[in-house]
Amino acid sequence: MTSSNTNGRYYIQQVSDMTGLSKQVIRKWEERYSLVQPDRLDNGYRIYSKKDINLLLHVKMLSEQGMPIRQAVKMVDETEVINQPLQNEVPVRQKHLNEFVLQLLEKGSRCDEKELMITLQQANHELGLASFLKDIVIPFLQEVGNRWEKNQWDEYQESVSSLIVRDFLVQIRRNYQYRADAPLIMAACLPNELHEVPLHILLLQFMLKGWRTFLIGAYPAPGSIEALIQKMNPQVVVLSATTTLPFEKDPLLLTTLDAFASIHPDITFYLGGKGAMEYASTKTLNNIHLTDDIHDIINGSTANI
């Protein structure tokens, strides 16, 4: 089924796709705890609002953190869900989700590639690139990763959603206009690293600030990063690893890269990603900045240009 109208009203199957909750659980929370009160069509179908979906998401999030359902329902107030984060001792992982994110979760649950692409196009057109990246792409990918880690989505659902986002971001980068004399930032996955989407997001954010960009994508050959840096001479280099596999495969990789950075003092080097933070946080880096905060990279780099 598709949405009942364009005003953010959804059938229960769509709500299940968006929240990752089964239809049985949604009905149980509705009937046992009065968490949501959906409208009914003449044919008896339940119709849920965006507020209902975010209420369900908040209770789900609290329950995943160990809170009993009844207590989570009592804690979640509709005004708090819509207007502000919950105030409690449990760290809130997920706040109110944009309606475009909810639509993407629905399409991603069904692996509907065409609808995923159309929804991304609509969101980018309506919000503009900066808000699109911050409010749509990043929250969507975070939720996709969370559902995959919790086995709520299978590998195919996660893969399709991530690849469609990657392809869409690639299209934007290829068509983006910049000045020939703009500063250059190069981003690179480390050898044995497969996840390049975070780097696409970072490079687009630099493009918005007037930079030229170049990406060395997934699984680069050993030595190719250094060779391209010497050839292109960028002002900034960002290296990424979402797992520790690059360092496990090559125990000397970090030392080699830090030594390479030392002979290029005019280039600012950053290293980030979950795997890099896990592995390198206890290592000594003299010439590479270790950070997992995009804003640190952007603010530190633009301050020097």
8 pLDDT more than 80: no
* Structure-token match 């996660």, residue found: 158
pLDDT for the residue numbered 255: 96
pLDDT for the residue numbered 46: 87
- CA dist 153 and 20 (Å) reads 8
Q: Mean pLDDT across the stretch 7-25? A: 87
For residues 100 and 123, the answer to whether their CB atoms sit within 8 Å is: yes
283 pLDDT more than 60: yes
For residues 197 and 165, the answer to whether their CB atoms sit within 8 Å is: yes
For residues 240 and 189, the answer to whether their CB atoms sit within 8 Å is: yes
Name the band, by pLDDT with cuts 50, 70 and 90, for residue 37.
Answer: confident
Higher-pLDDT residue of 95 and 113 is 113
pLDDT for the residue numbered 86: 41
- CA dist 83 and 72 (Å) reads 18
What's the token pair of residue 16?
């299940």
Q: Express as a percent the part of the chain with pLDDT over 90.
A: 63
pLDDT for the residue numbered 87: 41
pTM of this prediction? Answer: 0.79
Angle 279-218-152 from CA coordinates, rounded to 5°: 75
β-bridge partners, 152: none
pLDDT for the residue numbered 302: 65
pLDDT for the residue numbered 73: 86
Q: Mean pLDDT across the stretch 297-301? A: 80
Question: 77-102: per-residue pLDDT in tens?
Answer: 644 544 444 444 333 344 567 889 99
Strand order in the sheet with 39-40: 9-10, 46-49, 39-40
The overall average pLDDT reported for the chain is 88
Length of the chain (residues): 305
CA 185 to chain centre: 21
The domains located in the chain, with CATH, are 1-90 (1.10.1660.10), 97-175 (1.10.1240.10), 179-302 (3.40.50.280)
Q: Mean pLDDT across the stretch 283-302? A: 86
pLDDT for the residue numbered 79: 44
- CA dist 200 and 20 (Å) reads 27
Q: Express as a percent the part of the chain with pLDDT over 70.
A: 90
Q: Supply the DSSP string of the chain, one letter for each residue.
A: ---SSSSSEE-HHHHHHHH---HHHHHHHHHHH-----EE-TT--EEEEHHHHHHHHHHHHHHHTT--HHHHHHH--HHHHHHS---SSS-----PPPHHHHHHHHHHHTT-HHHHHHHHHHHHHHH-HHHIIIIIIHHHHHHHHHHHHTTSS-HHHHHHHHHHHHHHHHHHHHH----TTS-EEEEEEPTT----HHHHHHHHHHHTTT-EEEEE-SSPPTTHHHHHHHHH--SEEEEE-SSSHHHHH-TTHHHHHHHHHHT-TTSEEEEESHHHHHHHTTS--SSEEE---HHHHHHHHHTT-
- CA dist 114 and 99 (Å) reads 18
* Structure-token match 């900034």, residue found: 236
Q: Mean pLDDT across the stretch 95-122? A: 91
Question: 188-232: per-residue pLDDT in tens?
Answer: 999 999 899 999 999 999 999 999 999 998 899 999 999 999 999
pLDDT for the residue numbered 305: 56
